[in-house]
Chains A and B, each alone.
Chain A
Amino acid sequence: MTRRRVVTVMTHVALLVSGLAWLYPLFWALGSSLKGDDDFFSEGLNPMPSHFLWANYLDAWREASFGRYFLNTLVITLGTVVVTLVVTSTAGYVLARTRFPGRGFCLGLVSATLFLPHGYTIIPVFDLMQRLHLLNSLWSVIIVQASGGVVFGTFLFMGYFMAIDRELEDAAQVDGANFHQTFARIMLPLSGPMLATVGLFTAISAWNSFFIPLVFTLGRPELRTLAIGMYAFIGENSTEWTLLCAGTVITLAPIILLFLLLQRFFVNGLAGAVKQ
């Protein structure tokens, strides 16, 4: 019994120490964001600042444009989440519930694109956006970002709606509900967990996205997102390290908090995807 106890305690110590060490880069960035310039160099790898310099955040927000980048990122993330949820929940509902002519073709197309490698087709998309005069706008980022996730979201919603009992819809239709009312009043309110799952996946990938906003805001610094702002910052003001660390925290903190609040949806979604 005591031996088992020792093993248990050792396991916890090992897990805790390695788990915290695992997050060292994040702790380092957090600590360094509060350091002064002298501190930053003298303390080096030690994440703990000797005094807390909160002004770094104000400077990063105002002078280094992180406030603007934050707003851009927020708009892109919210826009992408809304577009994705609307588009994938309606498509998933229809594919799950009506046997319309052409359903097989649509389903086949959707499945085929799920297995195609993405990312190498950015050039035609760039050209298309240029011709639609959407280049260098937040819209282009939202649309391209959302289109990257529609297949995955549609599949998740389709599976979710298929598992819901038909009786509720039949009852609604007997009561005279039309197509939209059945979807909006019966099915959508039932799909809360799936809205959260798809919404969270989309929010995380939109917030963290680098390649798409990089390509579509190349010519317009004022449209940069946080990730692009950070990347550009290295090249442009290459000495204000503590501001850059504050920028890191501004970028990472919101998404980490969102994840911690809603993580069961995220983890269940991932687990479901691999078990199928």
Chain B
Amino acid sequence: MVTTVSVREDVATAEPPRSAGRRRARRRTYLWSYVYLAPMMVLLLAFVVYPIVASLGYTFYKWDGIGDPTDFVGLDNFRQIVHDSIFWRSLGHTFVYAAFVVPTQLVLALALALVLNNKRLRFASFYRTLFFLPVVTSAAVIGVVIQLLVSNFGDSINDLLLKLHVIDQRVDWLGDPHFALAIIILVGIWHTFGYNLVYFLAGLQTIPDELYEAARLDGAGPLATFRYITIPMLRAVGVVIVILAVIGTFQIFDLVQVLTSGGPYFSTEVVNTYIYHLAFGGSNANAVQPDIGLASAASFIYGVLLIVFSVVQVLVLRSLAKRRATGGKA
């Protein structure tokens, strides 16, 4: 890119001498611009763009990751993935995870943001810090702590919850397929809740006080104010928050890998752990040989699904926000 441009500029300098100095200065600026930009572009092209293209290439080979891929199998890897029930189950678990985590986080975060946004409330930023803190902790390490708590003191937790009548019989927390996923969901809600809280607080702060003032003068109660001012004014930010939350949950890996490694019997396998186990060998009961081709095919299918899903999501949420906004005005 740099060379072609400088060649063209060389031809251009054969012009009247008056502008030659300025041209040379501009050419030097361009040249240094490319130098400044180059490291970022190299990292981007080599580690973000190239892998997207390259992963498609691997999908046509049966390859364990050692040496060069030579065993061409055509679309066999795709066929295998599409017929693998565990792939579909892990896709299902990923959706279940997102379906529980996102709405719960959004509702709780909005409620807490409304409380903390009250200007008369003192120490609001201290409380915000308390609820935000899990975000800066490592999901893997949190997974280890929860593992320790549950595997050593699952009985104590059972005793406590039995006493509180939350459960009516003892539970094998990480050994029971249903509860293992539930625990991952709970920890997932806890871990990234703070992002949504901060996003909602930022959104609430963009709403001008005069609107609330005017509503109060018109005799609107807190519920009416929430319904007719807060919600409509949060729509634009809300769309971004939902998209970020959904994209975030679909990337889940650390918590699952540390807490259950996808077990028991694949009951908590999500797509990213499924791909990891295919590519690098599983710590699961049916540990498989590394199969990069198969893992790449699964990655590719998931990547396409995610892109389609994000585009649809953006379009739907945008039009929904727009329609409601115009409907509200009419």
Contact = CB atoms under 8 A, between A and B. Distances in A.
Task: Determine chain B's interface SS by DSSP, over half rule.
Answer: helix
B139 A208 contact: yes
Interface string B250-272: 11011001100000000000001
A100 B203 CA distance: 36
A100 B137 contact: no
Contacts of A226: 138, 141
Contacts of A275: 202-203, 206, 237
B198 A210 contact: no
Interface stretch (A52-60, A190-198, A227-235): A227-235
Nearest to B69: A127
B313 to A, nearest CB: 11
Interface residues of B, number: 92
A116 B199 contact: no
Nearest to B191: A25
Contacts, number: 257
Interface string A108-151: 01100101111111111111100000000000000110111011
B110 interface: no
A231 B37 contact: no
A20 interface: yes
A143 B129 CA distance: 31
Contacts of B37: 90-91, 94-95, 106
Nearest to B283: A235
A215 B276 CA distance: 9
19 contacts: A11-B115, A23-B130, A98-B29, A109-B41, A109-B44, A109-B49, A110-B44, A120-B275, A120-B299, A123-B296, A123-B299, A128-B46, A150-B43, A204-B136, A210-B139, A210-B257, A267-B132, A271-B202, A274-B203
Given A117-B310, A179-B29, 10 more contacts: A22-B131, A22-B134, A25-B146, A28-B145, A117-B307, A121-B55, A124-B58, A147-B46, A150-B40, A244-B148
